Amino acid sequence: MRAVTGCGCFKLRERVLVSLVVCAASVVSGILITPAAGGLAHGVSAAQTASKRGAAGPADARVASADSSRGAFLFLRDCAPCHGKTGDGNSRVRRTLHPKPLDFTNFEMTDSFILGALHQGVPGSDMPAWHSSPEKDLVEVAAYTARLAHPDALSEQDQYAPPAALEEAGRRVYQSHCARCHGANGNGDGPDARRYLPKPPSFAGMRPSLTAAQRVIENGVAGTPMASWPLLTPPEIQAVTQYIRSFYNEPAARRSAMPAPR
């Protein structure tokens, strides 16, 4: 385990500006997947309501039984032109989109979260709603997209402090700089959320990789309200990243499919 270094490493700087995680509002690097406000034109189903919150819901059960080969075909046909063939956001049109396409390999997302973006689009971005696609196709492409992520975890030797200390430090950073946009519980419903487009995502529905979160915090996200946060120390960044990631509500169906630890 690393020793904690730096001047009051977890002590917040009063000069640090507004919402660290419009950072992760846009931690979504181009947040081309985020719950949009307003819902569908003629009402929102229970599954879509769960999608807006980002939490796992009935849609996740439907997606779990989707045809993966059909989902791959649909992704290459409809999504790859913007998000790239492997879902990493590297496409020929990447530089023309605002914000840039989300790198699906760096963000775990619930199936309901993805369906919310497909149903509603993402105001403030170039992500449209896919009203012309059959619901079955949307379910299948959501299932495929959700499985493009490469989950990671913070190893014990890379931790700046014990888990309990990291959690408490992360909570303090989050409450001071993130909650006004992302909400007290990470649901994207903070009092300032309505001021931004794209709107802050729900961390219950998406979880950035450690690398992606650090990159966004340090560099900001061009084309979004997310600015860089150069005054946060590496321990502070690690702490708030871990806290943000703890909100993720991984679908039970996906957890049950994971191999048991040896």
Say if pTM beats, i.e. exceeds, 0.85. Answer: no
Q: Which distant-in-sequence residues (6+ apart) come within 8 Å of 76 by Cβ?
A: 85
Architecture of the domain defined by 22-27+154-255: Orthogonal Bundle (1.10)
Helix, strand, or coil here: 168?
A: helix
pLDDT (average), residues 72-97: 94
Integer Cα distance of 28 and 182 in angstroms: 13
pLDDT at 259 over 60: no
> Which pLDDT belongs to residue 62?
56
Which carries the bigger pLDDT value, residue 250 or residue 234?
A: 234
Right CATH number for 46-146 from 1.25.40.10, 3.40.50.720, 1.10.10.10, 1.10.760.10? 1.10.760.10
Phi-psi region of 124 (alpha: psi -120 to 50; beta: other; left: phi over 0): left
Give the helix ranges, DSSP H, for 178-221: 179-182, 210-219
Q: Which residue has the tokens 């791959």?
A: 72
Q: Which residue has the tokens 């971005």?
A: 125
pLDDT (average), residues 8-18: 36
Q: Which distant-in-sequence residues (6+ apart) come within 8 Å of 47 by Cβ?
A: 57, 58, 59, 62, 112, 115
pLDDT (average), residues 239-262: 71
> Which pLDDT belongs to residue 59?
55
> Which pLDDT belongs to residue 7?
38
pLDDT at 14 over 60: no
Q: What angle do CA 135, 151, 218 make, to 5 degrees?
A: 105
pLDDT at 116 over 60: yes
Domain boundaries, given as residue ranges, for the chain: 22-27+154-255, 46-146
DSSP letter assigned to residue 79: I
Integer Cα distance of 146 and 142 in angstroms: 6
Write out the two tokens for 220: 């900001």
